[in-house]
Amino acid sequence: MSTGAPTEPNDVSHSFKTQREELHPDPQANGPATVDFFKNNFNFSGRETVAILGAHTLGRLHVEHSLLRYVWKTRSAQLFNNGYYRNLAKKNDWYYPTEGRTDGECAGVGNSKGEKPEARWMPVAWGDTVVGGNVQWLNEKLVCMADNPNCTEAEEVWRFVSGADETMLSSDMGLYLDFDTDQNGIPFGCEGFEDFNMEKWGRTSTGALENKRFTWTRVNGMKAEPKCGLNKMPGKGPGTMAMHEIVEEYADNQDKWLADFIPALEKVLSNGYSDTALTQAPSSGMNDVDCAIQNPYDGDRIYKCF
């Protein structure tokens, strides 16, 4: 997110390097802190901040790089759509299990009525850091079990997508829900977070968190979604919609999100450059460019375009 003089200006192979310190948004921050980061570094409004984070509809997280796990959208890592916002706003959508499925199968599971199931977000502390974090929010859906697809309402269960859990970071979730985070990035301030802290988690002799039941939020002694209110901060841009309303608008209207995302992306890409340093791309775009398809599972793949 920064530009600067190369560290080795005479070496073309290292021309990508910079001497400037790179700045990154804090994945453990809440909504106001995320909005402030994009305001201070990109002059973004709240709406632009919500719009640009829709890029999370692509790709996944890699624990070996970030101590963060799983995927933004199950079976959707290569689909550029508004599924990120539908998940964030807890819209009813099908549950896509991984158990008992082979590559290519894509059949959604519903509730006891055969409808798209209800969803909830469950924060979990992994204990990978000295302060108990990182914290992620995992999506559960209230569904019938795969071996009992015609279950009754009483037999419905809350389920993750095993091994491909759908996730949000606090910086994502804070755009929709209103909660605080402490100096260590641990959420608090809603019913359910009272025992969600290092004092309750404890450590085993091996360093793992000891009291696993407290690594999930609890309400009335039971594992449950925290009762956080909606983020009612104004979007700080054209219009007066609150942050959670912008999320819901994009969840319901994919075209509206794309109309806002493209100029926000252009603003990010031009950040740090003067108006005269950039030139307009050719109107033909990528029409005359060919990029060979690569195997996404090849760790040594190199992308080349001609």
Q: How far is residue 127's CA from residue 207's CA, in Å, rounded to a whole number? A: 8
Predicted pLDDT at 6 = 42
Percent with pLDDT over 70 in the chain: 90
Helix or strand (DSSP H, E) at 265: helix 254-269
* pLDDT tier at 276, thresholds 50, 70, 90: confident
Q: Are 46 and 35 in contact (CB under 8 A)?
A: yes
What would the pLDDT profile of 195-210 be if each residue is shown by its tens digit?
999 999 999 988 899 9
**Mean of the pLDDT values across residues 39-58?**
94
Give domain limits for the chain: 27-269
- In this prediction, residue 5 carries a pLDDT of 45
From the candidate CATH numbers 1.10.3470.10, 1.10.420.10, 3.40.50.10420, 3.40.630.30, the one assigned to the domain spanning 27-269: 1.10.420.10
- 238 has pLDDT over 70: no
pLDDT tens per residue, range 282-291: 777 777 888 8
What is the pTM (predicted TM-score) of this model?
0.84
Tell me the pLDDT tens digit for each residue of 69-126: 999 988 887 889 999 999 999 999 999 887 655 555 667 889 999 999 999 999 999 9
28-58: string of b/e by CB count within 10 Å (b at 16+)?
bbbbbbbbebbeebbebbbbbbbbbbbebbe
The per-residue pLDDT for 226 is 98
For 123-163, write each residue's pLDDT tens digit: 999 999 999 989 999 999 999 987 788 899 999 999 998 88
Element (H or E) spanning 195, and its range? none
Long-range contacts of 41-46 (CB under 8 A, 24+ apart): 41/1, 41/271, 42/267, 42/268, 42/271, 43/267, 44/264, 44/267, 45/235, 45/236, 45/237, 45/238, 46/233, 46/234, 46/235, 46/236, 46/237, 46/243, 46/246
Interacting residues of 177 by C-beta distance below 8 A, sequence separation 6+: 31, 121, 190, 228, 229, 230, 231, 244
53 near 175, Cβ under 8 Å?
yes
Q: How far apart are the first and last CA of the chain?
A: 27
pLDDT reading at 229 higher than 60: yes
- Sole residue written with tokens 């696993």: 212
User: What φ, ψ does residue 8 adopt, rounded to 5°?
Assistant: -125, 80
What pLDDT, on the 0 to 100 scale, is given for residue 187? 97
Residue 105 to residue 115: CA distance in whole angstroms: 19
Q: Of 116, 98, 100, which Cα lies nearest the Cα of 165?
A: 98
Phi, psi torsion values for 82, nearest 5 degrees: -95, 20
| Backbone region of residue 34 per phi and psi (left: phi > 0; alpha: psi in -120 to 50; beta: other values) | alpha
